[in-house]
Amino acid sequence: MSDGFVLQEPQQKQSQEDKKHLNFISREHMLFATPFWQTKVEGVDNESIKEYCYKLRDETEGVVISNRGGFHSRELLHPIPDALTFLINQIHSYINGYCSQITGVNDLAAGNLWVNINPPGTYNRRHDHQRAVLSAVYYVDCEGSNIGNFVIERDDNMEFFAGKYKNSPIMQQSFAITPLTNFLFVLPAWTYHSVEPNLEKHDRISIAINFVEPGQPQQQYG
């Protein structure tokens, strides 16, 4: 081993001439890899947050952005419950702590926050969160195998090159994961993502937060 490189030794005895061609020094570079973080946030009073989410739906006017049906909050009602403040602080610590090991950024500010309530049959179309750095979504109430997957998609032309190797890890076009209550997902804000239709008989409720550069104006995306 020298200077961080691994010298690959041939498995069988080779001539000196062969060794010149078979021995090589290599290093892998993961270029433009997309991180995706999944964790479970413990100690959250989901019932209090859930009550607040329904209060927002009943007392404020929602907006239509990526949501197809359901409720996407425009604004928050103050005061916000202590349970939501606790959740925001936990997510903020995770973003600037654990996630910074990969991003190299540990001073992101919590930007705009909104509530998503998806009744049966509703979903969120493919979108990204412009002008943010990282985006997070926490699932307040999300149970059942048919609750709808969270789907991440790549935005390039790889499908035209994949051919028979389309199932190879480097050719993967999308990634889907089923969210559960207390799950937190974090991803780069520029990453295209969607949430499939809720096919359960109860609502899917989540809190989304954008994390931005300090001092950047808050804008509504999602």
Q: Which amino acid is at 17?
A: E
Which range has the worst mean pLDDT, 38-47, 48-57, 164-173, 188-197? 164-173
Taking only Cα atoms into account, the Rg of the chain, rounded to an integer number of angstroms, comes to 22
Residues 80-116: pLDDT tens digits? 999 999 999 999 999 999 999 999 999 999 999 999 9
Is the pLDDT at 137 greater than 60? The verdict is yes
How do strand 25-26 and strand 123-127 relate by DSSP bridges?
Answer: unpaired
**Mode of pairing for the β-strands spanning 150-153 and 174-177:** antiparallel
Are the C-beta atoms of 158 and 134 separated by less than 8 Å?
A: no
Q: What mean pLDDT comes out for the span 113-134?
A: 96
Q: For residue 43, which of 107, 86, 97, 6 has the smallest C-alpha distance?
A: 86
Q: Pick the closest to residue 49 from 86, 91, 90 (CA basis).
A: 86
Say what angle helices 46-59 and 82-96 make with each other, to 10 degrees.
Answer: 110
Render pLDDT for 191-207 as a digit per residue (tens, 0 to 9): 999 999 999 999 999 99
Domain boundary assignment for the chain: 34-212
The answer on pLDDT for 11 being more than 90 is no
**pLDDT of the residue at 172:** 82
pLDDT at 1 over 50: no
Q: Would you identify the CATH topology of the domain 34-212?
A: Jelly Rolls (2.60.120)
Q: Look at the chain and count its residues.
A: 222
C-alpha–C-alpha distance, residues 107 and 100, integer Å: 9
